Amino acid sequence: MPTTYEWDIETWADDEVVDHDHRDRLHEFGGEELTRAVAEDGYRLVLVRNDSEGRSWAYVTNGELAPVFLDSYEKPVAEVPARFVSEFNL
């Protein structure tokens, strides 16, 4: 299985993810959606990595994209490719 990536704005309530909004490219989200997600007020912006080993996540925290993907045990899995760092920093 090839490695794929997707951006996601997660909706959080009571410390649980209750909804997802996936897009292939970050610019496909509207400005208001991104502002709300980066503010981390009930929403989180995350880059999701899918491969033969499963899923891993690189969250945006304090306005910065994490440099590595973490698995569900919060173990580092892989570095975030430079193209996604560039896309986020535009």
Phi, psi of 27 (to 5 degrees): -70, -10
The Cα–Cα gap between 43 and 47 comes to 13
Residue 80 pLDDT > 90: yes
> Contacts by 35-43 with C-beta closer than 8 Å and gap 24+?
36/9, 37/9, 38/63, 42/11, 42/12, 42/13, 43/9, 43/10, 43/11, 43/12
How high does pLDDT run on average in the chain? Answer: 93
Q: What is the mean pLDDT of residues 57-68?
A: 95
pLDDT band at 48 (very low <50, low <70, confident <90, very high): very high
pLDDT band at 8; cut points 50, 70, 90: very high
